[in-house]
Chains A and B, each alone.
Chain A
Amino acid sequence: MELTGAEIVCESLLKEGADVVFGLPGGAVLPLYGALSSYPGIRHILVRHEQAAAMAADGYSRATGKVGVCIATSGPGATNLVTGIASAQMDSVAMVAITGQVPRPAIGTDAFQETDVTGVTLPITKHNMLVMDVKDVAQAIHDAFHIARTGRPGPVLVDIPRDVLLGEKTEFIWPTETKLPGYKIPGEAPEDQVAAAAELINKAERPIIMSGHGVLISHAYGLMTEIAEKAQIPVITTLLGISSIPSDHELNLGMSGMHGMAYNNLAIDESDLIIGLGMRFDDRVTGRISAFAPNAKFIHVDIDASEVDKNIQTTVGMVGDLKAVLGQLLPKVEANQHIDWLRRIMELKAQHPSHLVRESDELLPQFVLQRLTEITQGRGIVVTGVGMHQMWAAQHCKFTEPNTFITSGGLGTMGFEVPAALGAQVGRPDTTVWSVAGDGGFQMTMCDIATAVESHADIKFAILNNNSLGLVHQLQELFFDKDYVASEYSANPDFVKLAEAYGIRGIRVTKKEEVADAVQQAMEAAGPVIVDFIVKEDEGLYPFIPSGQSVKEMLEEPAP
């Protein structure tokens, strides 16, 4: 039977297993919506702003390991996706964005709602394509999903003109293979490199594994933990690598870097071998690169060849799929104890206990997160925005399962916490999602609380409300002579009343004693709840290695 382009898109989505899409219709993409109603197998979630569609697709992808799909119309619809797409690109998230385009004859004429969206998204997608013939639609969608989910995942945008969606019909033929002669997916690493890496590991006295997002993407957490246990190698996680090893694992040291645990940064400084797995030695991890791990050799495994030897010079750099490479490595790694090294790290931890929350009568944001994670017992999913609350969540929240900490790392996208939580919850409907938000970021995307309500999503929004852009405020305090320009809010809305306006439960917490009860009540209520934690406003974020500095310049929490 002959189908329209729009119907072919829907058939192709089903073939690719995309049963949930996030979007918002408009003129150019309306033919696709016309077809969607005939495909009940595809659940469409109507957002209030297209940026939420992209970020929800991101959260959905990270929570499920599937490809997240978002749909927008041409022009402003497509450009509203941009921040969410850029965010997915930086964090290697599998996403397919489908945008409507003006009809083919109108392309290039500055037609109403025309934007060159393949041009706009060229530097922020893994790949993109403009489909100019209905006969190419199925192949384009098939290729887009393949590119998005394989290798180093990333967003792929498919732009389809209105008259390709709804014009000439053609036979729907699902392609049996991709048409991508230039696309290579690394698998195993060369044996000589694996042997060289194993030798370095077996000889190292003070090794550290740095576990990144790639460990989660590649499902390599089991193998990574096995290697760590076999050779007794402590594991530091990057921000996106959190949840790649359970928080209570005795070898898990938590996060390092700009706001990482002080003892981890000190341990890296003393280490003689850094084993970077599925991470990219980004500047938030390394600080000043010339002063990073000055005593260490580097093993680096990544699926993206361009990451190896980009920021640090490796002794052994391997390009491959982590699960495959760690499978090669495991039998070659000898059992070891590293008793002195682990003892030394315990000593550093005792001397620099940045994982502890100080006693205070005031409501500290760190305390809120510590209580929250005690009550949830590290179960469920935590999604954050960007800023102080994000770093405190990374420092203090506990995790038991992989892919349960979802945060915007590379791009640092404020406002991510609301739509990404929606996507995660829709993808994992049996799981409670805590959206840990700042009052700044929350107000960027809170319009999509409506979407959470409509979707009956079990999301608990925990706003750590300090009436300011807290991290900006702290940077101004430390580096801009306390000139607090444009970082304080004088008229935040009443978030409890806001909850009521959306017909959901709102709880305000101002005292320490109220935290546990509020968390319990939020968990017991069905659907979305907003908990407004009025926290100590000028609480500083520590440890802190200022941008471009090294562990030598690390600021630890000042004595009260």
Chain B
Amino acid sequence: MSLQQDEAILDIRDLKMYFPVTRGLLRRKVADVKAVDGVTFKIRRGETLGLVGESGCGKTTIGRCVLRLYQPTSGTIFFEGEDISSLPESKVRRIRSKMALIFQDPYSSLDPRQNAGSIVGEPLKIHQWVSAQAEYNDRVEHLFRLVGLDPSMEDRFPHEFSGGQRQRIGVARALACEPSLIVCDEPISALDVSIQAQIINLLEELQEGIKGLTYLFIAHDLSVVKHISDRVAVMYLGHIVEITKSRTLYENPLHPYTKALLSAVPIADPFVEEKRERIILKGEVPTPLNPPPGCSFHPRCFMAIPECRQAVPPLHDVGGEHEVACIRV
């Protein structure tokens, strides 16, 4: 599949998001937390890009920058061909009707004093997506059906729903204004194992049914990300270290961190587990406040050489839509 520039619904170039650390009465800036430190990637219309990494790697920050919930420190974000990274706040609302967010926790992301119908319908009102009350009612009813909820439950409050149903309400709310991009931030990690599959399948079915619906799927669970994504980007301390098709990522991981991450995920099959190689990493993820020089993974890396300390390795293409940021590959 050859790619043209205009096919990318989202095109992020050298995105940086630093959070200042202040100290003292005058809130003097003493340092930066480099949550996202130069990230470049594209998402095509209709595809699912998985963003995976351990806590603190910056994956959620990227999602929030895309939605312009944060003002990026530098870099550009092209959404449907328009640079939204420096749009003034007054114009941000307009693009937000075309992108939506599904949150991790279906308990705290729904207003407990709002009934389910008005939660789902609120974006329609905010973005003036419907003009008449009848149209609003129809749309809310349609959204309930779309996510597998009975429209007769519109009057119920969030506490009357189970976790899985609440997440369905969250999905319906995200779909309200027919967005072209949905940022799913750990949408299933708060759910029980047997319920997770229901939501994964729902997201997959919606994408099959709605032409051009694109997901940026952020999660720490590599098995889930691999299952749902067409391509996966692996993050470590604010950088993308490897990005490729999800199948290639599993079959031919090149970055040592990806290899370690894959081997750390147990597979629910003792016959497979017996034969698997295990890479146990030394130490823990360093703080993004003071990342190691050069490749930020080198202190834990089993392939590191002295040169790894010298410069941050850029992503380079190794062919077959496979990019990796490692000088040893």
Are A and B bound to each other?
no
